[in-house]
Amino acid sequence: MICPQCETEYRDGFTRCSDCDVDLIEPRPAVNVAETRDDVEQIATFLYLHQAELAASVLEGSDIECFLGDAFFAGVRPELAFTSGGIKLFVRAGDAERAREVLAELDESATESDTSS
């Protein structure tokens, strides 16, 4: 059991966090999410498919599995990508933090020539 606020782990038998005075919860089970997209997190949005594909290939190069949303529309009807909010890049929730770091590095190298700050 863990505390949902401070995330302290408690042994079986405890039901409340002594620090936060809230009910403990079951930690999320380490399930195989290969068949579901429920446990994915959107980490970025791109206006253009080639940007999204670049980011996806960089993530895959870092062994982070990712999914592109709305890529179909962007490839076939680019104008629709705008109306649907761009191309969304998803990764598994557990990879989100690492994926953001990878993309942050990508951003830095991609915007190196952009000096308008």
CB of 19 to Zn ion, least distance (A): 4
3-class SS of residue 91? strand
Q: Which of 20, 54, 96, 106 binds Zn ion (CB under 5 A)?
A: 20
Give the separation between CA 78 and CA 59, rounded to whole angstroms. 23
Closer to Zn ion at the Cβ: 8 or 62? 8
CA pair distance 81, 67, nearest whole angstrom:
16
> According to CB under 5 A, which residues from 56 to 115 bind Zn ion?
none
5 binds Zn ion (CB under 5 A): yes
Q: Which is nearer to Zn ion, 20 or 33 (CB)?
A: 20
Q: What is the dihedral of CA 24, 26, 99, 71, to 10 degrees?
A: -120
Positions that interact with Zn ion (CB under 5 A): 3, 5-6, 17, 19-20
